Every structure is written in structure tokens, then in C-alpha cells.
Amino acid sequence: MNVILLGKPGSGKGTAGIEIAKDFNFKLISTGDLLRQEKSSGSTIGKQIESIMDRGDLVSDDIINDIIEQELSKPLPIDMYYLFDGYPRTISQARRLDEMLNISAVVYFDVDDATIAERIEQRGKKSGREDDQDSDTTKCRLENYYNDTQPVVDLYENSDRLYKVDASKSAISVYLQIKQLINKLNKEEEEEDNGIY
């Protein structure tokens, strides 16, 4: 079962993703991490995306789709599935992903904007991430979320693949909610495979 973690910037996708990937033996693909690696490598693409990311804008779909295609072309053990963190963030990315893979579940991190702003401000003090450093950049990231990513949430909700978790709770609580959800979905899938339904 391939799973997506979807939500506003700073909603906790990365934090939960690391633990969930370990527990369920997922291959974790975080586009944010891959882009930050590209940026710090100083490559041509890294230079292209640096200022876009620092001001809180989304990197182009072409670059993201190339990065994802490269990741998906790497061999994956037969019993392993993907956990996507921060991808897809636009309708075009979501459509491309649906062409490449079967996505059974999308975990939506439900949290209000004020909590997001507070978390990003706190992270900015430690992370040194350019995009966490001021409230205007956070505002821009949230605007991009409403313009580009909210339609992706609607797309998955309309195709009955969206499962909400209360992401305003503590990191451990969010992690446990997702763990419980994936266990339940795995069990349902198993029962379906065994013809119980």
C-alpha cells in the first residue's frame, strides 16, 4: 500500500513520516529533503531552486516530476511500498503520480494556520532554514498551499482516499493516529485479499 502524507507547510509531515516509515518498512520519499540536498550540492538544478525555496514558493512541476521519476526508477524490494512526504503538492503532480503508481491512502494533517505559524517560527530558531525565518515567507507558503495544494486535498477526498488526522495534537499523538490508521487499512486490505468482504 503506497501512502501520501499531505498537509500545510509545517503541519508535521516530515516529523511523523520518519517514524512511520521505520515502523512499516516504507521507502520514504520527502521532496523537501531531496530538494534541500540538491540545493546544498550546488548543482545547476540546486542553483535554480535556491531562491524559489527560500522565498517559500513551490519548485516547478517539471523539476519535481523528474526527481520523483528518478526515485521511482530505483529498485524496491517486492514487499516494500512508498511513503510520500510533501508530494504531490499540485494537481499536475497528483495526476502524474496516479499514472505511475496506485495510491491507496492519503493522510491529511488537519491543523489551523496559527499553529502552523507558531511551529514554523520555533523551527526557524533551530533549523537555520531560510524559508522558516520570517512571517512573510510563512504567509507566502500558506497562500501557495491554499492555491495549489488544497485542490489536491479535494481531489483525494472526492476519490475516497483521504483520511484526516488531528495534527494540532502532540507529535507522538499524531504518529499514533497514523499508525492506527495504517494498521486498520492493512487489515482491511488483507481481509479483502482473503475474500472476507
Three-class SS of residue 163? strand
Does position 106 interact with ligand B4P (CB under 6 A)? The reply is no
The vertex-84 CA angle with 45 and 118, nearest 5°, equals: 85
Four-CA torsion 42, 47, 50, 51, nearest 10 degrees? 150
Binding segment for ligand B4P among 50-58, 71-79, 96-104, 181-189 (CB under 6 A)? 50-58
**Grid coordinates belonging to 196:** 472476507
Does position 62 interact with ligand B4P (CB under 6 A)? The reply is no
Does position 153 interact with ligand B4P (CB under 6 A)? The reply is no
Contact 92, 11 (CB under 8 A): no
Look at the block and give the residue holding cell 503538492.
89
DSSP state of 166: E
Does position 164 interact with ligand B4P (CB under 6 A)? The reply is no
Does position 170 interact with ligand B4P (CB under 6 A)? The reply is yes
Does position 100 interact with ligand B4P (CB under 6 A)? The reply is no
Quick one: CA dihedral 41, 82, 18, 74, positive or negative? Answer: negative
Shortest separation between residue 14's beta carbon and ligand B4P, angstroms: 3
Which of 96, 123, 161, 164 is close enough to bind ligand B4P by CB under 6 A? Answer: 123
Does position 11 interact with ligand B4P (CB under 6 A)? The reply is yes
Binding segment for ligand B4P among 39-47, 80-88, 151-159, 189-197 (CB under 6 A)? 80-88
